[in-house]
Amino acid sequence: MPLPSEFAALEPYLAWDLATEPERYARRLASTMDEMQEFYDVAFPLLEDAIAYCDKFPIDDLPEDARTLMHLMQSLVMVSFPVEVWKQPRVPDSGAAYLDVIVEPVV
């Protein structure tokens, strides 16, 4: 899926264009810290501009490029704690605990 031109730097990371939290979480667990760090390093500086771009549209009527951008930013949130705090994909000391999101804002 194409991205708005000002976000072309994110094109190598379109594998993170995942519509649901369970998909993003599974991708996080299947990724190495190096992969997440690389995505984070490119995506994080674009976060504020990405939010401003997506905010131009009603959430229930996002154009495809804005929806892709939103999904990438949601994936950025998913990798932020592992990259910034935990230094591992899993939540430390969480055992087999998990949460399921049952409603997504937009799929």
Tokens of 103: 């409603």
| pLDDT computed for residue 6 by the predictor | 96
d(CA 37, CA 87): 10
Q: Which residue in 45, 43, 40, 49 sits closest to 81, CA to CA?
A: 40
Contact assessment for residue 93 and residue 30, using Cβ atoms and an 8 Å cutoff: no
Segment-wise mean pLDDT, segments of 10 residues, the chain, 107 residues? 92 97 92 96 98 96 96 96 76 56 64
| pLDDT computed for residue 38 by the predictor | 98
| pLDDT computed for residue 85 by the predictor | 75
| pLDDT computed for residue 40 by the predictor | 97
Q: Which residue in 101, 6, 102, 100 sits closest to 51, CA to CA?
A: 6
Q: What is the DSSP string of the chain?
A: ----GGGGGGGGGGGG--SSHHHHHHHHHHS-HHHHHHHHHHHGGGHHHHHHHHTTS-GGG--HHHHHHHHHHHHHHHHHHIIIIISSSSPTT-TT--------S--
| pLDDT computed for residue 39 by the predictor | 97
| pLDDT computed for residue 67 by the predictor | 96
